[in-house]
Structure 1
Amino acid sequence: MNREAAKQILIVEDELKLAQLLADYLCDSSFEPHQLHRGDEVLGWLASHPCDLILLDLMLPGLDGLEVCKQIRQHSNIPIIMITARVEEIDRLLGLELGADDYICKPFSPREVVARVKAVIRRVVNQTSSNTNDIQLDGIRLDEEGFKVSKSGFQCELTKVEFYLFHAMFKQPGRIFSRDQLMDIIYDDRHVVSDRTIDSHIKKVRKKIASIGIEESAVHSVYGAGYKYE
């Protein structure tokens, strides 16, 4: 394994045998895994170690995964895959409130976790390489590195998921995107994500852009079809 090129994966899981199993599978796939077993250790570790992706369990001693994710998102866009046995938390985990990039439900196959890690990292790399220039239209500017939208000197910050959702519509004004198409844009695997997930994201995007003087109706709902930017 080329350790210099290996992606650094932080596993935050209090089940020691499970954490080691995931580490073994990730190592076999040319990743370099690291383990923590308490939520209150994560921010301190990140402050002094490079990290390309975090596998973050929901139920942790010290600080639960939801709070850890929330704190990370205050200053970092490191990809986060949440691990949970609580299916009812899925919408929150996928960024409606916290900005997680993906989730995986227990029980799971370690091979599936490795596949999800590869998919999220691939998506981040592709989005970074394709988003080299800011987009501007009608006095509105999208900052594709900072996930910010600005107008007339005012700006708002979106979560990563919200930004890519708005970005897709903004760069193709007038095009109607179905909910399925929008979910395909922002999620690699959405087999338990409902239509209301997109509706919740849209509601939050509208509220944030309205705070800087962009009409909420700019993200327009087309009855029975989906959404468009105009």
Structure 2
Amino acid sequence: MHRILIAEDNAEIAMLERDYLEINGYETQIIENGNEVIQAVLTGDYSLLILDLMLPGCNGYDICRVIRDQINIPILMVTAKSESIDKIRGLGLGADDYIAKPFDPAELVARVKSHLKRYERLVGSISMNQNALDEKSIVVGNLKIMSRSWKAYRDGQEIKFANREFELLNFLAMNPNILFSKEQLFEKIWGFDYIGDTATVTVHINRIREKIEDNPSKPRIIETVWGAGYRLNM
């Protein structure tokens, strides 16, 4: 059974989330204080984190920043804020999705199901690829992408990517010198069943550039073709 950690200080909202998730077969735990969330996520066996941004003790942004490079479970950020900058900041710190209050609990459950399903496909793919005898790698300058073992190295040092970041990088690397629109990348990586928008692609491209480019403000590996999309140069 999937275990979901609900980090939410509003008891009414937390219980509503809990009830809808448990009705749909998930096991849940509620934590109200942000200071307790990091330790719980890193030591507990959770399948997904529902993370409110405005928690007492430690806010959701800081929690996401700390745990994202250490654990790869899906993170669904929940907040009363609806401005685009908050969404972009949350995604930029490694959140997989964003939902603003007030929300339909059924939509929350749908997003949880979608993320868990996609995460299971990724993990299953990684597991099968790791058992393969031949390791397929792609080299772009000082960057080496190991498509089967789902790892990447820059100058010999392993780079940590969230699953969606690596999936996006790997897709571009396997299709070098081809221009893809944000809409094409969104459909390919996030899928038709994902509830979101193409700004998610831009945020993830920026996070990837921060990890692989010598100068992220002047990218050479993943190029922006203004008004058209992105391509990986090889």
User: What TM-score comes out, normalization by structure 1 length?
Assistant: 0.83
Q: Which residue of 2 aligns with 1:167?
A: 170
Q: Does 1:190 align with 2:196?
A: yes
Residues 71-86 of structure 1: matches in 2 within 5 Å? 71-86=66-81
CA contact (8 A) 2:80 2:101 kept: yes
Structure 2 counterpart of 1:125, from 120, 125, 129: 120
C-alpha distance 211-148 of structure 1, shift in aligned 2 (>3 A) = farther
CA contact (8 A) 1:81 1:102 kept: yes
> By how many angstroms is 1:220 displaced?
2.8
1:53-82 deviations in whole A, cap 9, x for unaligned? 011101111111111111111311121100
Q: Does 1:229 align with 2:229?
A: no
> By how many angstroms is 1:216 displaced?
3.8
SS of the equivalent of 1:208 reads helix
C-alpha distance 129-218 of structure 1, shift in aligned 2 (>3 A) = same
C-alpha distance 19-142 of structure 1, shift in aligned 2 (>3 A) = same
SS of the equivalent of 2:99 reads strand
Matched length: 218
1:69-112 deviations in whole A, cap 9, x for unaligned? 11111311121100011122011122x2x101111110011111
Partner letter of residue 75 of structure 2?
I
Partner letter of residue 196 of structure 2?
R
Structure 2 counterpart of 1:34, from 29, 53, 59: 29
C-alpha distance 199-29 of structure 1, shift in aligned 2 (>3 A) = closer
Partner Cα distance (1:144, 1:87) in 2: 36
RMSD: 2.6
Q: Which residue of 1 aligns with 2:208?
A: 205
C-alpha distance 200-24 of structure 1, shift in aligned 2 (>3 A) = closer
CA contact (8 A) 1:8 1:50 kept: yes
Partner Cα distance (2:18, 2:181) in 1: 38
1:131-153 deviations in whole A, cap 9, x for unaligned? 44364124753246986422552
Q: Which residue of 2 aligns with 1:156?
A: 159
CA contact (8 A) 1:11 1:33 kept: yes
Per mean C-alpha deviation after superposition, the further-off stretch among 17-26 and 141-150 is 141-150
Partner Cα distance (2:71, 2:223) in 1: 30
Partner letter of residue 74 of structure 1?
D
Partner Cα distance (2:136, 2:88) in 1: 29
Q: Which runs of 5+ in 2 are unaligned?
A: 130-134
Partner Cα distance (1:180, 1:108) in 2: 25
Q: Which residue of 2 aligns with 1:179?
A: 182
User: What TM-score comes out, normalization by structure 2 length?
Assistant: 0.81
SS of the equivalent of 1:174 reads coil
CA contact (8 A) 1:147 1:157 kept: no
C-alpha distance 201-52 of structure 1, shift in aligned 2 (>3 A) = closer
Partner letter of residue 137 of structure 1?
I
C-alpha distance 100-204 of structure 1, shift in aligned 2 (>3 A) = closer
Percent identity, aligned pairs only, is 36
